[in-house]
Amino acid sequence: MLAFLVKRTANAVFVMLAVAFLAFLIFRSFGDPVEMMVNEQATQAERAELRERLGLNDGFLTQYVRFVTNAVQGDFGISYRNQQDVMVLIGERFPATLELVLVATVISLVVGIPLGVITAIHRDSRLAGMLQLGSIVGVSLPSFVVGILLILAFSVTLGWLPAFGRGETVDIGWWSTGLLTPSGRAALVLPAISLATFQITLVMRLVRAEMLETLRTDYVKFARARGVPRGRVHWVHALRNCLMPVITLTGMQIGNLIAFALVTETVFQWPGMGLLFIQAVTFVDIPVMAAYLLLVSFIFVTLNTMVDVTYAWVDPRLRDDTAEVGGTNG
Amino acid sequence: MTHRTLLLATAAAGILSGPAVAQNVLDWGANRDIGSLDPYSYGDSFTINVLNHVYEGLVRYNRDLEIEPALATSWEILDDQITWRFTLREGVTFHNGNPFTAEDVQASLERVSHETSPLKGNLPAYVSSEVVDDLTIDITLNGTYPLLLNDLTNIHIFDKEWLVENGAELPTDIGAGVEGFATYNANGTGPFIVESRQPDAQTVFTVNPEWWDEPAHNLDGFVLRPVGSPATRVAALLSGEIDFTNDAPVQDLPRLEAAPNVEVLEGVDLRTVMIGFPFRETLVSGEPNPFATKEVREALYKAIDLELLHERVMRGKSRIAGATVAPPIPGYSEDLDTIPAYDPEGARALLDEAGVPEGLEFEFNCLSDGLVNEEQFCQAIASMWSRIGLSPQLDVAPRAVQTPKRTNGNTDIYTLGWATLPMLDSYSPLLQIFHSKEGNSGVFNWGGWSYPELDALVQEAGQELDVETRLDLQNQALRIVKDEYIMLPLHQQPMAWAVTDSVTEMPLFPDNKPRLWFARMNGDS
């Protein structure tokens, strides 16, 4: 087991180093941050000097090694544009993104699971057909379109919910939360729904498929034959057996949602990490981009590793090197 | 539910209209956030513009964009012609209560012109300063220089004591990797005080009751709330969540105009959009470069249908330009502002005379995040040039990608917009764009041209203290630019702000900078 753990961790570190390497390779085509930093009246000599001072004249390998050396010591540098410590910047934005992602996940489960069960039980009904159709729309609509439509309906036409921002927040230690104020909760509704749309359909379709499978099993038939009420069979016995893959999927999807929240964050001006990253790209703010990419890859790698370790713990066969087939590198 | 909402709304309205708590707080939905609270650490004119509500300069622009006294009340040039003596305003205090003195001015000038400041180019002539007494300071320049006041409008004055106490005498040096105090805190003399700031969410400004000037505004404060997505910004304006935006998207103007609660403020920006040429031996492709010949540049100008660009691409909102500076800019004259007739046949004839082959390929470099409708007008111009037998290769990409190509001469023809900011004088493009590339001059002379006669005029103007004489010199230089077709002016681009009906006054400035100390709202205060 120990050997397995060490191996997985080494893999994780390697993946992150590779991500940072690729990131630095790509940064070269992003353009020149100095042109964005100085104003129109700066002379060529001043520009050159600033470039030298930032170490941008060094080869990308030197820059990469320097970044990794500093990152290992927890130093990610200072944002070119905001002149703030990058970790502070990201730390400020992280609670906003995580709250959004968690609420979106809860919404997707609360809405997606019942819809999945209903479409499985009544799979020939008109309602199920419509839900299925709706889920295709949910998968196909890009999330910024969903966001704009929600804003048009609920902010402009009805005037119920704010169109952008995070409302009032309360600081608990270094964590800032919008869940404790009415304006914060109101501001969370539209972006969370917009982010959850895709996820809802994913959960719904997964639950439906699992349910259809389970409903054919013998124990369900026996339960029915024994006279257990239909509702109890479906919602308790059958559903419980469908949830394992849903939980795995949801856990894995949290990483995805954090990464893809940037579209939602841009539409709703949600002050999270995605918005920070988009701005960093515009201004070629290399320290912020590098740290963000590393953090997101860290989240992915950690989630993957945790799932792998759990699987290995559950299924001893996976610990054996020769039989290592599982893995959920998705 | 509806009933309850109604009750709440009534209650809220009652509270808002009650005289005791009347609040004129303006919600400003900008298209992006300011970079930090420190105006000197990133060359971003929007950040400087917003922070001008908190920090002030020795002089400032009034409603008509004329320079008027601010923290300095008067000034004179001493006998050596290179030292300026400023008399400072008495009784001004910073937001923390510290009195404003000459020491503060000196510390601020040193700070902005320090070698690690990305903004030292904003005060190019500064050499040193000397405190004469509490309210008098001498500023020494590197030569006679007429535009010091223009430069000083953008140099914000900090409190020296506050800088020293917090170890922020120098601008934040990103290369050194240490944060600065002024990034998170602000302490100026201006009409508004920074109350709180959450990056990308909101920055709250409250009115400064101790401001030295008689306020023309009636605001109790304002909140800068960046909304990056244009569609969301429009929605927020329609729903009344923001009262004002300084960037109303051009494509949504009809919708905003139709809304009962929104007023669109449209104008023409000072920014003149131009096309520049390479003057090098060869094009990027390695072919010989024909654009160094004046007649070829003239032909390319004649081949552009400026009326069509104005009507179709700019939807009638731009102002067709024949001169390289806009009418309000000192140095502009009407006789320079003439446009050639659209004449593709004449253009082709000129090309034939100059021996430019049919199908000549060259790169045409445009920005995807630059000027208003840049991609569209570049496409239109490229097809107009195709009609006279050229094959422009359009290269459109973001500014950060294109600028290195332009400065390193890795492209042929390019676009450039120039608003003469922050100087607001035609000396700015003459020095930065049209002068030969040497030393501090011609930084934006990307084509690499050199007109000694023009250079001489610009240098003479740069040392001429008499305004009339100086503007005459600059006018002569602009005449050369025009006659030689060094760059082709296309238009001044449109700008649009929008306010809701809660705002009663919001003067639109052609330099596209909101100045909320002139804004009024309809709550009584």
Q: Please indicate if any CB of chain A lies within 8 Å of the CB of B402.
A: yes
Q: Looking at the DSSP assignment, which residues form a beta bridge with residue B140?
A: B83, B128
The pLDDT confidence band at residue B8, using thresholds 50, 70 and 90, is: very low
With 0-12 / 13-18 / 19 or more C-beta atoms within 10 angstroms meaning exposed / middle / buried, residue A64 is buried
**Closest Cα of chain A to B175: distance in Å?**
5
Residues A198 and A232 in one domain: yes
Q: Find the CATH number of the domain harbouring A162.
A: 1.10.3720.10
Q: Looking at the DSSP assignment, which residues form a beta bridge with residue A213?
A: none
Q: Looking at the DSSP assignment, which residues form a beta bridge with residue B487?
A: B276
Of B252, B315, B227, nearest to B498 by C-alpha is B252
Q: What share of chain B has pLDDT > 70, as a percent?
A: 95
Residues A172 and A68 in one domain: no
Complex-level ipTM beyond the 0.85 threshold: no
Q: What is the pLDDT of residues B15-34, one digit of tens each?
A: 443 344 458 999 999 988 88
Q: If DSSP states are collapsed to H, E and C, what string results for B108-134?
A: HHHHHCCCCCCCHHHCCCEEEEEEEEC
Q: Which helix (H) or strand (E) holds B268?
A: strand B262-276
- The residue-averaged pLDDT of B339-350 equals 93
Q: Which of A32, A37, A162 sits opposite B404 (nearest CB)?
A: A32
Amino acid identity at B74: S
Q: What is the pLDDT of residues B116-168, one digit of tens each?
A: 887 877 888 899 999 999 999 999 999 999 999 999 999 999 999 999 999 88
Q: Please, are residues B171 and B111 in contact by the beta-carbon 8 Å criterion? A: yes
Q: Please, are residues A307 and A253 in contact by the beta-carbon 8 Å criterion? A: no
Q: Which helix (H) or strand (E) holds B459?
A: helix B452-461
Q: Please indicate if any CB of chain A lies within 8 Å of the CB of B261.
A: no
Q: What's residue B350's pLDDT?
A: 94
A76, closest residue in chain B (CA to CA): B177
Distance CA B471, CA A282 (A): 38
- The residue-averaged pLDDT of B357-367 equals 93
Residue A230 resides in a domain: yes
DSSP 8-state secondary structure symbol assigned to residue B341: P
Q: Looking at the DSSP assignment, which residues form a beta bridge with residue B224?
A: B28, B203
Residues A10 and A49 in one domain: yes
Residues A33 and A170 in one domain: no
Choose the final residue of a domain: A25, A44, A72.
Answer: A72
Residues A67 and A132 in one domain: no
Distance CA B355, CA A288 (A): 52
Q: Which of A33, A46, A54 sits opposite B120 (nearest CB)?
A: A46
> What Å distances lie between residue B356 and A291, B289, B344, B360, B386, CA to CA?
51, 9, 15, 7, 13
Backbone angles phi, psi at B248, to 5 degrees: -85, 120
DSSP states of B277-318: ---SSB-TTSSB-GGGSHHHHHHHHHTS-HHHIIIIISTT-S
Q: Which of B239, B262, B365 to mutate to test the interface with A (most CBs of A within 10 A)?
A: B239
Token duo for residue A194: 């917009």
Q: Please indicate if any CB of chain A lies within 8 Å of the CB of B369.
A: yes
- B420's CB contacts (< 8 A; 6+ apart) are B270, B325, B326, B329, B426, B428, B429
Q: Please, are residues B39 and B156 in contact by the beta-carbon 8 Å criterion? A: yes
- The residue-averaged pLDDT of A185-208 equals 90
Amino acid identity at A58: D
Q: What's residue A168's pLDDT?
A: 83
Q: What's residue A137's pLDDT?
A: 83
Q: What residues of B are in contact with residue A159 (Cβ under 8 Å)?
A: 239
The pLDDT confidence band at residue A310, using thresholds 50, 70 and 90, is: confident
Q: Is residue B396 classed as helix, strand or coil in its secondary structure?
A: strand
Domain of A18? 2-72
Is the confidence at residue B406, as pLDDT, over 50? yes
Token duo for residue A66: 């320097």
DSSP 8-state secondary structure symbol assigned to residue B338: -
Q: Which of A39, A82, A163 sits opposite B235 (nearest CB)?
A: A163
Token duo for residue B299: 């032909």
Q: Please, are residues A103 and A184 in contact by the beta-carbon 8 Å criterion? A: no
Residue A216 resides in a domain: yes
With 0-12 / 13-18 / 19 or more C-beta atoms within 10 angstroms meaning exposed / middle / buried, residue A238 is buried
Residue A311 resides in a domain: yes
Contact between chains at A155 and B439 (C-beta distance less than 8 A): no
Residues A47 and A172 in one domain: no
- The residue-averaged pLDDT of A1-11 equals 82
Residue A224 resides in a domain: yes
Q: Please indicate if any CB of chain B lies within 8 Å of the CB of A310.
A: no
Distance CA B403, CA B409 (A): 10
Choose the final residue of a domain: A49, A72, A95.
Answer: A72
Token duo for residue B179: 């944060």
Distance CA B261, CA B508 (A): 19
- The residue-averaged pLDDT of B426-437 equals 92
Token duo for residue B514: 């909101």
Residue A327 resides in a domain: no
Domain boundaries, chain B: 55-172, 269-493
Is the confidence at residue A329, as pLDDT, over 60? no
Backbone angles phi, psi at B123, to 5 degrees: -135, 65
Q: Please indicate if any CB of chain B lies within 8 Å of the CB of A57.
A: no
Looking at A211-225, A261-275, B77-91, B184-198, which range is the least confident one?
A211-225
The pLDDT confidence band at residue A321, using thresholds 50, 70 and 90, is: low
Q: Which of A53, A271, A284 sits opposite B200 (nearest CB)?
A: A271
> What Å distances lie between residue B455 and A321, B94, B426, B442, CA to CA?
76, 43, 14, 10
Domains identified in chain A, total number: 2
Q: What is the pLDDT of residues A139-148, one digit of tens each?
A: 888 888 888 8
The pLDDT confidence band at residue A318, using thresholds 50, 70 and 90, is: low
Q: Which of A36, A39, A58, A283 to mutate to test the interface with B (most CBs of B within 10 A)?
A: A39
Residue A329 resides in a domain: no
Amino acid identity at B462: G
Q: Please indicate if any CB of chain B lies within 8 Å of the CB of A178.
A: no
State the Cα torsion A245-A247-A250-A251 to the nearest 10°: -110
Looking at A127-141, B269-283, B313-327, which range is the least confident one?
A127-141
Contact between chains at A41 and B124 (C-beta distance less than 8 A): yes
Looking at A31-40, A307-316, B4-13, which range is the least confident one?
B4-13
Distance CA B5, CA B15 (A): 15
Residues A41 and A108 in one domain: no
The pLDDT confidence band at residue B11, using thresholds 50, 70 and 90, is: very low
Q: What residues of A are in contact with residue B30 (Cβ under 8 Å)?
A: none
Q: Looking at the DSSP assignment, which residues form a beta bridge with residue B415?
A: B275
| Domain covering B269-493, topology | Dipeptide-binding Protein; domain 3 (3.10.105)
Token duo for residue A160: 């119920």
With 0-12 / 13-18 / 19 or more C-beta atoms within 10 angstroms meaning exposed / middle / buried, residue A222 is exposed
Distance CA A277, CA B200 (A): 12
Distance CA B147, CA B424 (A): 10
Q: The pTM is what?
A: 0.84
Residue A291 resides in a domain: yes
Residues A67 and A206 in one domain: no
B72-77 β-sheet, strand order = B72-77, B83-88, B136-141, B126-133
Token duo for residue B297: 């540049």
Token duo for residue B184: 């998170």
Residue A330 resides in a domain: no
Q: What's residue A326's pLDDT?
A: 45
| Domain covering B55-172, topology | Dipeptide-binding Protein; domain 1 (3.90.76)
Of A326, A304, A302, A303, nearest to A314 by C-alpha is A326
B428, closest residue in chain A (CA to CA): A41
Q: Please indicate if any CB of chain A lies within 8 Å of the CB of B444.
A: yes
Residues A66 and A94 in one domain: no
Pick the residue with more confidence: B305 or B369? Answer: B305
Residues A32 and A114 in one domain: no
Pick the residue with more confidence: B135 or A278? Answer: B135
> What Å distances lie between residue B97 and A32, B92, B93, B159, B207, CA to CA?
42, 9, 6, 10, 15
> What Å distances lie between residue B334 and B88, B170, B330, B424, B478, CA to CA?
38, 45, 12, 18, 12
Q: Which helix (H) or strand (E) holds A201?
A: helix A182-215
The pLDDT confidence band at residue B59, using thresholds 50, 70 and 90, is: very high
Is the confidence at residue A324, as pLDDT, over 70? no
- B373's CB contacts (< 8 A; 6+ apart) are B250, B313, B314, B493
Average pLDDT, whole number, for chain A? 83
Contact between chains at B404 and A31 (C-beta distance less than 8 A): yes
Average pLDDT, whole number, for chain B? 89
DSSP 8-state secondary structure symbol assigned to residue B441: B
- The residue-averaged pLDDT of A291-297 equals 87
Q: Looking at the DSSP assignment, which residues form a beta bridge with residue B491?
A: B273, B320
Residues A108 and A193 in one domain: yes
Token duo for residue B60: 């400032």
Choose the final residue of a domain: A72, A95, A110.
Answer: A72
B442, closest residue in chain A (CA to CA): A43
Per-position b or e across A173-193, b if 16+ CB within 10 A of its CB = eeebbbeeeeebeebbbbbbb
Q: Please, are residues B155 and B57 in contact by the beta-carbon 8 Å criterion? A: yes
Q: What share of chain A has pLDDT > 90, as a percent?
A: 9
Residues A159 and A20 in one domain: no
Q: What residues of A are in contact with residue B429 (Cβ under 8 Å)?
A: none
Is the confidence at residue B434, as pLDDT, over 70? yes
Q: Please, are residues B141 and B84 in contact by the beta-carbon 8 Å criterion? A: yes
Contact between chains at A155 and B236 (C-beta distance less than 8 A): yes
Distance CA B487, CA B289 (A): 16
The pLDDT confidence band at residue B401, using thresholds 50, 70 and 90, is: confident
